[in-house]
Structure 1
Amino acid sequence: MSILVIQNDPIVPAGQLSAFLGDHEVLRAWEAPQRLHDLATAPLPGALILLGGRANVYDDEAFPWLEAERELVRRCVRANIRVLGICLGAQLIAATFGGRVTVSDPAGPECGIISLAWGTNDQAGGGGAVPLRMALASTHAVFADHSDAITQLPPGAREWARSQKYTQIFSYGSALGIQFHPEVTRETAIVWASGNEAVDTEQIVAGYDAHEGELASTCKTLADWASGVF
């Protein structure tokens, strides 16, 4: 199955996902925005993955390819094609279907390792939700890096898991939104932390190192889901 991965930011690559995905193409949106617009009428991929980035989900002027991504998400969900949205990608899914994203949410950013609290109704929903939830059962620590947040889910969406502050996993039809970064590598974590004066890079990296195995396992599970393994 061919998987299309859309990279929205040079410093937010596919990372670990590339190691776990089979046949896939990475489209760097800032290099080929016209290609994204052309996808509005092109054959759909076997699955779609939207990566994160520093973009504001509503800032189409600065990031003119975002509307093309939203339209591609609409088409994929209508066709029951799996969509995995990560961080900005999750926010795009939420906003596309009537949810709300708060830019620079006043509850504050999440950076580094955070804990998940699973909901009681998280096994409901489409797109292979039940087997995916079972496969994610051991995921309790994830790596986050964001200040914008999903503050209202689309009508009909289901929240699977939260951190202390925000929705972290939700489903909408065949789409799955993940606020944290399963794809992050140690090298990328260092780049992000080094560019953020509000965090301690050594502390962020130590947290990554302490949970590296769990982070990789979660990433593989999500890559397997996107690939249709279950």
Structure 2
Amino acid sequence: MTFVLTVVQNAPDVPLDRLEGWAQDATLTVVRADLGEPIPAVDELGDGLVVLGGHHHAYDDSAAPWLPAVRQLLADASRSEVPTLGICLGAQLLAVARGGRVQVAAPPGTEAGVVTIYWRVEAVSDPVAGPLVAGLTERRATPQPTLHSDAVVDLPAGAVWLASSNQYPYQAFRIGSAWGVQFHPEASAATLREWATRDGDVDTEAILAEYAEREAELVGIGEALVGGFVDHVRAVAAARVSA
């Protein structure tokens, strides 16, 4: 069945990227918040919501005046049984929206390149991460691309902690009907190059070389994880229609 996903984009160079191809049976409505397009209300979302990353921090309301509306939308969607996925900044906004805390320029420093994500036992039965994690070895580890220096340091009350890395503990979590991931399952090499070049303090060529060496694996894992979310949206939409 066809279903509708609303996508909030927070920066011109942080697009859907590979995610667009992984949701081919969805009607995608992209809201360019960074260009001043209005943030929809929860009852205007359709069947699901994705909030992408960006270069602002989660509290940067003066430079990014749309952020309060995005935080409110994330709070409303996660409480209204609307399947929601926040990626990087989107995950940080979700955490703050539900009462968690993000540290800007966190002391461990920038986490960049291909990092190992360690999935907790709670992820095995998770509706979104479960299909990926259940097929892993007992170590339950997957590589994923990332580039961030802000981080969730306190999860919201009631959140389910799903994954960590060696540098930052809260790499994935679930709260209500929403999931947040600190890493970028959707990122291609071209997108990573843009981000690393813009950052200026990371070794762009080293990041790209590591990505190229493991690209097939990274794409497969990203597709499995995002596919788990897309399947969940589809199932929730189908159940709503048949109810």
Instruction: Please report the TM-score for the alignment, with normalisation by the length of structure 2.
Output: 0.85
| Pick aligned residue for 2:181 from 178, 181, 202 | 178
8 A contact 1:109–1:146 mirrored in 2: yes
Aligned residue runs from structure 1 range 13-28, under 5 A: 13-22=15-24, 23-28=27-32
Instruction: State the partner residue of 1:68.
Output: 69
Alignment of 1:31 onto 2:43: no
Give the Cα–Cα distance (whole angstroms) in 2 for the partners of residues 149 and 79 of structure 1: 26
Alignment of 1:98 onto 2:102: no
8 A contact 2:171–2:183 mirrored in 1: yes
Instruction: State the partner residue of 2:240.
Output: none
Give the Cα–Cα distance (whole angstroms) in 2 for the partners of residues 65 and 191 of structure 1: 23
Instruction: After TM superposition, give the deviation of residue 120 of structure 1 in Å.
Output: 2.8
Instruction: State the partner residue of 1:223.
Output: 226
Give the Cα–Cα distance (whole angstroms) in 1 for the partners of residues 69 and 135 of structure 2: 32
Q: Percent identity?
A: 38
Which runs of no fewer than 5 residues in structure 2 stay unpaired?
236-243
Instruction: State the partner residue of 1:88.
Output: 89
SS across alignment from 1:227: helix
| Pick aligned residue for 1:148 from 147, 150, 159 | 150
Instruction: State the partner residue of 1:200.
Output: 203
Distance 1:45 1:136, change over 3 A: farther
| Higher helix proportion (structure 1 or 2) | 2
SS across alignment from 2:121: coil
Instruction: Please report the TM-score for the alignment, with normalisation by the length of structure 1.
Output: 0.90
Give the Cα–Cα distance (whole angstroms) in 2 for the partners of residues 63 and 219 of structure 1: 28
Instruction: State the partner residue of 1:161.
Output: 163
8 A contact 1:136–1:218 mirrored in 2: no
Range that drifts further, 82-91 or 207-216? 207-216
Output the amino acid matched with 1:142: Q
Range that drifts further, 62-71 or 213-222? 213-222
Instruction: After TM superposition, give the deviation of residue 7 of structure 1 in Å.
Output: 0.8
Instruction: After TM superposition, give the deviation of residue 172 of structure 1 in Å.
Output: 0.9
Instruction: After TM superposition, give the deviation of residue 183 of structure 1 in Å.
Output: 1.1
Q: How many positions carry a matched residue from both structures?
A: 226
**1:42-90 Cα distance to aligned partner (Å, 9 max, x none):** 5232110010011110111111111111121122222211111000000
Instruction: After TM superposition, give the deviation of residue 219 of structure 1 in Å.
Output: 2.5
Give the Cα–Cα distance (whole angstroms) in 2 for the partners of residues 136 and 31 of structure 1: 41
**1:165-185 Cα distance to aligned partner (Å, 9 max, x none):** 211111112111100011111
Which runs of no fewer than 5 residues in structure 1 stay unpaired?
none
Instruction: State the partner residue of 1:50.
Output: 51
Range that drifts further, 169-178 or 215-224? 215-224
